[in-house]
Amino acid sequence: MTRLSVNINKVALIRNSRGANFPDLVQVAKDCESFGAQGITIHPRPDQRHARYADVPALKKIVKTEFNVEGNPIPTFLELVMKHRPDQCTLVPDSPDALTSDAGWDTIKHKAFLTDVIAQLKEAGIRTSIFIDPVEKMIEGAKLVGTDRIEFYTGPYAHDFRRARKKAVTPFIKCAKLATKLDIGINAGHDLNLDNLPYFLKQVENVKEVSIGHALITDALYYGLKKTVKSYLKACK
């Protein structure tokens, strides 16, 4: 079974809109775990428009499954991660003003930088994952920089799923086989939902973990958080 890590950034966005601690991000994380989620993900950006840097230590104290912190490895982010040591750190090459993550790393162009950052994280005992597009040369580059895992950027797959699902998933199938051959763990995330997730996991081998936030929280508005988490867990089987 692929593990489900719930990204609670959108919960933080709602909290921040009123300037108070409601909904309580810590309580939501506890609830998601009690409903069966196997991990909690946050992606604090420099402008802290949703998850904030201060949320990292608070969540680190209470998350009992797996705590995954995503972000661009700028100095302030790296300092935060090194201090609080989540179970996993996912490196994402988004700019500070990005609306959302929309591309993976160029592991060839940024080889030296990624190698250095990943070495620091691994020395601190933090599992590393890098956000990546399904391009074979980038997977080969991921092996060279020393990452433990990759996280497939699945936005293009989700965009084309209804129109041409087989064509949309083919690059991921090929790159997953290569990653497995190179002994790189596979995660996936971005715009995965109850509609497109089962097909993706059926077609793409060895996906260890999916990180899902926007779609899951949106579904929770209709179905409730408990039922939604359980629905995504079922989709991961």
Write out the two tokens for 2: 């692929």
Can 70 be counted among the known catalytic residues? yes
Catalytic residue among 33, 70, 151, 209: 70
Separation of alpha carbons 26 and 103, rounded Å: 29
Q: Which of 33, 151, 190, 209 is catalytic?
A: 190
Report strand pairing: 127-132 vs 88-91: parallel
Separation of alpha carbons 138 and 122, rounded Å: 20
Instruction: Answer yes or no: 209 catalytic.
Output: no
Among this protein's residues, is 159 annotated catalytic?
Answer: no
Q: Record the tokens describing residue 214, joined without a space.
A: 């926007």
Helices first, then strands: H and E counts in the chain? 10, 8
**Structure confidence at residue 202 (pLDDT):** 98
Domains and CATH numbers, the chain: 3-236 (3.20.20.70)
Place of tokens 């933080």: 12
pLDDT tens for the chain, 237 residues: list them. Answer: 899 999 999 999 999 999 899 999 999 999 999 999 999 999 999 888 999 999 999 999 999 999 999 999 999 999 999 999 999 999 999 876 655 656 899 999 999 999 999 999 999 999 999 999 999 999 999 999 999 999 999 999 999 999 999 999 999 999 999 999 999 999 999 999 999 999 999 999 999 999 999 999 999 999 999 999 999 999 998
pTM over 0.85: yes
**31 CB-contact burial (10 Å; exposed 0-12 / middle 13-18 / buried 19+):** middle
